[in-house]
């Protein structure tokens, strides 16, 4: 016959499945996934003036002005998103190496520094108990929402401190759905972590923010 203690211990390790739906804003592409775009760039632009003068009367009889412009076509690299088999954009948000796990780890570390329990000790055990699926999550955009290109300056490391401009595909707003699985004993701690997602900047270039739609 099972005792009350046995039943309680089983309840503690019973897995809970929670659907997490997030609304993400300003999601930048990247993760070494790129595309190229051909653009026209002006290399030279100048104006020429020509004057004609009749030598027999010493007067100017015409004045012409022409413009010269040289345009070069170059290919620019744009950091973008991976696509699934249906052509939709996806991002590696799930799994232990996914971006949501990384964001939760950052939140747990912050809670530890703030002295928030149960993260003051052993918070890695809480993180390791969470499974986030799928690994590659579809970025679902509403009708009328279009991806656009953003330019971000970056100073390269080194003595010269050269500045370059990188281009990124950016999704202004989308929704993502994931399934989180964790032991029931971790329920309060996991819910506290999830709430923290609304208070940080995350994902590529740390530009994205989120709103929790469902948990």
Tens digit of each residue's pLDDT (9 = 90 or more) over 8-36: 555 557 889 999 999 999 999 999 999 99
What average pLDDT does the chain have?
Answer: 87
* Least confident among 140-144, 172-176, 190-194, 207-211: 140-144
User: Is pLDDT larger for residue 41 or for residue 170?
Assistant: 170
Please state the pTM of the whole predicted model.
0.78
User: Is pLDDT larger for residue 76 or for residue 79?
Assistant: 79
Structure-token match 């929670």, residue found: 18
Q: What is the pLDDT of residues 37-51, one digit of tens each?
A: 887 777 777 777 777
Band of the pLDDT at 7, cuts 50, 70, 90?
A: very low
pLDDT of residue 58: 60
Q: What is the pLDDT of residues 103-153, one digit of tens each?
A: 999 999 999 999 999 999 878 999 999 999 999 999 999 888 899 999 998
Structure-token match 């499974």, residue found: 131
pLDDT of residue 39: 77
Assign residue 72 a region (left: φ > 0; alpha: ψ between -120 and 50; beta: otherwise): beta
User: Is pLDDT larger for residue 68 or for residue 5?
Assistant: 68
pLDDT of residue 83: 95
Other CB atoms closer than 10 Å to residue 173's CB: what's the count? 14
* Residue 212 near residue 196 (C-beta atoms within 8 A): no
Percent of the chain with pLDDT over 70: 88
Q: Is the pLDDT of residue 97 over 50?
A: yes
- For residue 23, the cross-strand partners are 175, 211
Domains of the chain: 16-36+75-214 (3.30.70)
H helix and E strand count, the chain: 4, 10
Residues 6+ apart with CB under 8 A from 69: 42, 44, 45, 46
Other CB atoms closer than 10 Å to residue 55's CB: what's the count? 6
The Cα 136–Cα 127 span in angstroms is 19
Residues 6+ apart with CB under 8 A from 56: none
The Cα 28–Cα 108 span in angstroms is 24
Q: What is the pLDDT of residues 172-184, one digit of tens each?
A: 999 999 999 999 9
Structure tokens at 107: 């939140």
Beta strand 163-183 pairing with 148-155: antiparallel
Beta strand 163-183 pairing with 59-79: parallel
The Cα 77–Cα 205 span in angstroms is 16
Structure tokens at 99: 């971006």
């Amino acid at each position: 016959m099972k005792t009350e203690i046995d039943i309680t211990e089983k309840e503690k390790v019973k897995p809970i499945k929670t659907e997490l739906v997030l609304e993400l804003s300003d999601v930048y592409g990247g993760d070494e996934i790129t595309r190229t775009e051909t653009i026209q760039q002006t290399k030279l632009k100048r104006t020429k003036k020509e004057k004609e003068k009749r030598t027999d009367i010493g007067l100017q009889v015409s004045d012409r002005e022409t413009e010269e412009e040289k345009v070069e076509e170059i290919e620019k690299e744009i950091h973008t998103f991976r696509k699934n088999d249906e052509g939709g954009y996806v991002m590696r948000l799930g799994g232990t190496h996914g971006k949501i796990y990384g964001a939760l780890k950052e939140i747990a570390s912050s809670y530890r520094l703030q002295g928030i329990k149960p993260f003051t000790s052993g918070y890695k055990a809480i993180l390791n108990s969470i499974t986030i699926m799928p690994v590659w999550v579809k970025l679902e955009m509403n009708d009328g929402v279009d991806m656009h290109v953003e330019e971000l300056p970056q100073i390269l490391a080194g003595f010269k401190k050269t500045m370059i401009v990188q281009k990124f595909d950016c999704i202004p707003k989308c929704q993502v759905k994931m399934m989180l699985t964790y032991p029931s004993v971790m329920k309060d701690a996991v819910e506290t972590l999830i709430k923290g997602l609304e208070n940080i900047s995350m994902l590529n270039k740390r530009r994205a923010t989120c709103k929790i739609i469902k948990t």
